[in-house]
A = this chain, B = another copy of it.
């Protein structure tokens, strides 16, 4: 178990060591560790060595000049100048929030960025201002559209945060695939099979091989197969890709640069600049009085939580599991798995930073 504070301090010092400003290093560390706290271990400090590898290969600029390159009263396009997505994301969300203050809503497309951590972190930033927050990003291609053998889409997550009055903020944050790739990696490490319906093999058939995606196969869209609606998950992933990539001037589809997988370090930037994201902020009182809205959100949440459930289960509100995990990990520490601890210690050695366990 490692405390969130220890992980955050260590991560911040690593980002400082590669040349980030103090405020950027602090922010980037906060985004990463919030993933660990919320139980999204695949998007937390486990990725820190990956960000450093991106830096080593010149794909991250630790001192970016993030700029608005085009804007209207309710929109902006932002060039991330190859900055950490962990820093570009909150910067862009702040622009969306400012636009919403005056225009009612704000919508920001970002290009020339990198992996931005968990989408939910960014969406939540708007909820603190009595706004509905939205964040989405595309990612390197791991997903085959319905009937495709080619991997053309990333796991392309969407997050929507909606504030309530006395209930906690509603936060839906999900990939547009049947499962996140991190779930396959966990079973790979254990040498176990995956359930049918998560991935396809090189011929497009359902498979239980946890290594399928590395062996010519692909993740499948949410819905799993055509009969169960995979064309809908494909449509959702496509929308995220178009908003994040085509609207912003970033890459898109199979051209989205990889994160930091060995052998894929050269970004194949054929159609745009870097990775893209899309953010939105809608001021609640641009629609109806915020207090009235939030009271109705309480009613919504309470009705769903009180639903009659199948034996031994309960109906959860989007965001509940992550919030419960965060409370637990703040109290008891974060169980970082051994290979990740090892990779962090190696980073620490390289940069002369100590990880307090």
Contact = CB atoms under 8 A, between A and B. Distances in A.
Interface in A288-318: 288, 293, 296-297, 299-300, 303-304, 307-311, 313-316, 318
B315 A145 contact: yes
Interface string A194-232: 010110000110000000000000000011100111011
Nearest to A296: B246
Interface in A230-254: 231-236, 238-239, 241-242, 246-249, 252-254
A104 interface: yes
Given A103-B103, A242-B297, A307 B233 contact: no
Contacts of A241: 300
Nearest to A314: B147
A304 B145 contact: yes
A236 B77 contact: no
Given A162-B242, A172-B236, A248 B73 contact: no
A74 to B, nearest CB: 4
A150 B304 CA distance: 9
A45 interface: no
A287 B92 CA distance: 14
A16 interface: no
A195 B145 CA distance: 22
Contacts of A174: 229, 231-232, 235-236
Nearest to A173: B235
Nearest to A174: B232
A73 B73 contact: yes
A254 B303 contact: yes
Interface of A: 70-75, 77, 102-105, 107, 109, 132, 144-150, 152, 160, 162, 170, 172, 174-179, 195, 197-198, 203-204, 222-224, 227-229, 231-236, 238-239, 241-242, 246-249, 252-254, 271-272, 282-284, 286-288, 293, 296-297, 299-300, 303-304, 307-311, 313-316, 318
Contact of A195 (B227, B253, B272, B318): B227
20 contacts: A70-B286, A72-B286, A73-B102, A75-B287, A105-B105, A146-B316, A147-B315, A149-B308, A149-B309, A149-B310, A170-B242, A172-B236, A174-B229, A176-B232, A195-B228, A235-B318, A236-B236, A246-B296, A247-B288, A253-B300
Pairs of residues from A and B, 9 with the lowest C-beta to C-beta distance, nearest first: A72-B104, A172-B235, A204-B310, A75-B104, A147-B313, A174-B232, A74-B74, A75-B286, A150-B307
Contacts of A146: 315-316
A104 B105 CA distance: 10
A162 B243 CA distance: 10
A282 B170 contact: no
Contacts of A228: 178-179, 195, 197-198, 224, 228
Contacts of A227: 195, 197
Nearest to A77: B287
